[in-house]
Chains A and B, each alone.
Chain A
Amino acid sequence: MSPRDRSGGSPLVTREDRRRGRSPLSTHPDLPIHRASNQTLVLGGLLMLMDALVVVRHVWAAQLVLVVLLLTLPGYLLLRALRMRSAAMTAFPLYIPAASLLVLLGSGLLVNLVGPMVGVAAPLRPVPLLVSLQIICAVLLVAGALAPSGSALRLNGLPPARWLTLPLLVPVLAAVGAIRLNTGHNMAVALTTLVLCVIALTVATAAADTLDFGRLSMILYVVALSMMWSFSLRSDLVYGFDIASEYGATHRTAMEGLWHAGDGDAYNAMLSITMLPAQIHSLTGITDAVVLKAVYPAIFAIFPVGVFRLAGRFVPRRWAFLAAAYVLVQGGIMKQLPALARQEIALLMFVALLGTVFDDKIGRTARAVLVSLFVGGMIVSHYSTAYLAVTVFGGALALQAVVSVVRRKRSVNLAVAGVFGAGLLIGAIWYVPVTHAAANLTSFGSLLDSKGFQFLPGLKDGNFVSAYMKGTETAGITAKDYQPKIAEEFRQHKAFVKPHADAAQKKYDLAARPLPKSPVLVPALRGLINTGELVAQQLGNLLGMIGALVVISRRKSPGPIRVIAQLALPALFMLALFRLSSTFATAYNQGRAQLQAMVILVIPLMWLITRLPLWVRRRSGARPASLVDRGLSTLTAGGLIVIFLNTCGFTGAFFGGDKAGNLSSSGEDYDRFSMKRPELAGAAWLGRKVEYDREFVYADRYAVLRVFAETTITDRVFTDVTPQTLDQHAWIYASRSNTVDGRARGQIDNSVSVYAFPTAFVHDHYNLVYSNGMSEVFHR
Chain B
Amino acid sequence: MSTADAPGGLSPARKSLIALAVLLMVLGGAQTPPGGTVLRALGLTAEPPAYTELSFTTPAALPDFVQAGAVPEHASFEIRNRGTTAQDYRWSVYVERGKRRVKAGSGALRLGPGAARTLKPPALRCTSGPVRVVVQLDGRTERITFHSVCQRPGDLV
Binding site for B on A (CB under 8 A): 59-61, 64-65, 155-156, 158-162, 164-165, 176, 179-180, 182-185, 676-678, 681, 685, 689, 691, 763, 767-774, 777, 779-780
Indicate if the CB atoms of B16 and A769 lie closer than 8 Å: no
Chain A contacts for B76, CB-based, 8 A? none
Q: Count B-side interface residues using an 8 Å CB cutoff.
A: 44
Complex Cα distance, B146 from A763, in Å, reads: 9
Contact with A along B18-50 (1 / 0, CB 8 A): 110001110110110000000000111110110
Chain B contacts for A176, CB-based, 8 A? 42, 44
Complex Cα distance, B23 from A374, in Å, reads: 33
The residue of chain B having its C-beta at the shortest distance from the C-beta of A176 within the complex is B44
**Smallest CB–CB gap between B157 and chain A, Å?**
22
Indicate if the CB atoms of B27 and A773 lie closer than 8 Å: no
Chain B contacts for A183, CB-based, 8 A? 43-46
Chain B contacts for A158, CB-based, 8 A? 12-13, 16
Chain B contacts for A780, CB-based, 8 A? 147
Indicate if the CB atoms of B59 and A777 lie closer than 8 Å: yes
Complex Cα distance, B54 from A155, in Å, reads: 59
B94, CB-defined interface residue at 8 Å: no
**Smallest CB–CB gap between A681 and chain B, Å?**
6
**Smallest CB–CB gap between B138 and chain A, Å?**
14
Indicate if the CB atoms of A689 and B60 lie closer than 8 Å: yes
The residue of chain B having its C-beta at the shortest distance from the C-beta of A729 within the complex is B60
- Which of A160, A677, A678, A769 sits near B144, CB closer than 8 Å? A769
Q: Secondary structure of the B side of the interface? A: mixed
Offer 7 A-B interface pairs, CB within 8 angstroms, sorted by A: A59-B28, A64-B23, A161-B13, A161-B19, A678-B82, A691-B60, A771-B55
Complex Cα distance, B145 from A181, in Å, reads: 36
Complex Cα distance, B147 from A185, in Å, reads: 43
Contact with A along B121-157 (1 / 0, CB 8 A): 0000000000000000000111111110000000000
Given A768-B145, A770-B55, A771-B143: A161 in contact with B49 (beta carbons within 8 A): no
Indicate if the CB atoms of B43 and A185 lie closer than 8 Å: yes
The residue of chain A having its C-beta at the shortest distance from the C-beta of B40 within the complex is A183
- Which of B27, B46, B51, B59 sits near A64, CB closer than 8 Å? B27
B90, CB-defined interface residue at 8 Å: no
Chain B contacts for A164, CB-based, 8 A? 12, 16, 19
Indicate if the CB atoms of A772 and B43 lie closer than 8 Å: no
Complex Cα distance, B146 from A716, in Å, reads: 24
- Which of A60, A156, A179, A770 sits near B53, CB closer than 8 Å? A770
Given A768-B143, A768-B144, A771-B142: A155 in contact with B27 (beta carbons within 8 A): no
Contact with A along B51-70 (1 / 0, CB 8 A): 11111100110100000000
- Which of A160, A179, A182, A676 sits near B2, CB closer than 8 Å? A160
B86, CB-defined interface residue at 8 Å: no
Chain A contacts for B13, CB-based, 8 A? 155, 158, 161
Given A689-B59, A779-B60: A60 in contact with B146 (beta carbons within 8 A): no
Indicate if the CB atoms of A160 and B62 lie closer than 8 Å: no
Chain A contacts for B146, CB-based, 8 A? 767-769
B120, CB-defined interface residue at 8 Å: no
Chain A contacts for B143, CB-based, 8 A? 768, 771
Complex Cα distance, B48 from A61, in Å, reads: 23
Chain B contacts for A691, CB-based, 8 A? 60
